[in-house]
């Protein structure tokens, strides 16, 4: 009986360490990536809106050549902007088109983030569940969850 329980315990722990925790780490990393994308697009939106507001038609900027070495660059026409739509494709948009695309893209990214958040929560719940199982196997007393805020 005891040996059986030992084995079961070990299997549970292995499940947590080898399956659930790596999954959790992976999910969090994925979500972080999406967060980053969201940020780049919101930045882009802000920049385009800024251009619109100031009605900038030509732009002079500094280009990073690498290793923080910059050179001046001239953009003769800012009306047409190439936006990354994924998979290495870039589409030439006008400002309004670009803003439209960005808003759609942001919506999608927000959905993705929500999905990942849910996934993370469920993995955490599973970890908790397995821990509970281990606790029951060890016949330890249940931890009393704190009721309400503690002052």
Partner 1 sequence: MEEFAKKGTGTVTSLAEMFPAEDAQKAVKRVQEKLVEIQNELHRVRRFISDNSNLISLVQKLPEQLHHNIIVPFGKAAFFPGRLIHTNEIMVLLGEGYYAERTSKQTVEILKRRGKVLESQVGSLKAIMRDLKAETSFFDSTASEAADLSGLSANSSMSEVFFAGTAEFITDQTLSILSFKEGRLLGRYFRLPQISGWLNARDWEFMGSENDDEAKGSYLTLDKTWNCSKKVLSGVYFHFQNSLLATPLGMQLGTSSRKWIEVPWRVETPCFLSVLPPKELAADSQSMSGRQADLFMVQYQEGLLEITEDYMEENSTERESESGRFLPLVVFCPPKEDAPSSSEADKAKVSVEDEEYARIMSRLDELEKEELEAECGNETAEENEQVAVDDEEYARLMSRLDELEEEELEAEDEKIKDDFNKLSDQKSLDTNLRHSEGYQSRELLEQTKDKKSASEEFLSKCDPQKDLTDQLNCMGLAVQSVPEDEKSHGKSLPHNVIKSSPPEKALMLPEVKENVQPAPLSRSEVPAQSSKPGFDAQKAFTGSIIEHTHNTHINSSQESATSSQSPSSQPSKPVSRFKMQRR
Which positions touch partner 1 (CB under 8 A)?
37, 40-41, 43-44, 47, 59-63, 65-78, 80-84, 90, 98
10 Å Cβ neighbour count for 112?
Answer: 17
For the bound state, the minimum distance from the C-beta of residue 74 to partner 1, rounded and expressed in Å, comes to: 5
For the bound state, the minimum distance from the C-beta of residue 68 to partner 1, rounded and expressed in Å, comes to: 4
For the bound state, the minimum distance from the C-beta of residue 21 to partner 1, rounded and expressed in Å, comes to: 19
10 Å Cβ neighbour count for 89?
Answer: 9
- Rounded to whole angstroms, how far apart are CA atoms 80 and 26? 38
91: CB partners within 8 A, 6+ apart: 82, 83, 85, 101
Query: Which C-beta is closer to partner 1: that of 84 or that of 126?
Result: 84
Query: Which C-beta is closer to partner 1: that of 67 or that of 145?
Result: 67
């Amino acid at each position: 009986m005891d040996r059986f329980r030992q084995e079961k315990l070990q299997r549970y722990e292995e499940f947590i360490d080898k399956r659930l925790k790596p999954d959790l780490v992976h999910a969090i990393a994925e979500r972080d990536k999406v967060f980053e994308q969201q940020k780049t697009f919101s930045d882009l939106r802000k920049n385009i809106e800024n251009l619109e507001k100031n009605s900038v038609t030509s732009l002079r900027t500094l280009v990073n050549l690498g290793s923080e070495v910059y050179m001046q660059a001239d953009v003769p026409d800012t009306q047409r902007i190439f936006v990354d739509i994924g998979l290495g494709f870039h589409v030439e948009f006008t400002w309004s088109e670009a803003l439209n695309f960005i808003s759609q893209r942001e919506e999608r990214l927000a959905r993705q983030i929500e999905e990942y958040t849910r996934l993370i929560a469920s993995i955490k719940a599973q970890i908790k569940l397995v821990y509970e199982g281990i606790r029951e196997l060890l016949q330890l007393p249940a931890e009393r969850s704190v009721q309400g805020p503690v002052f």
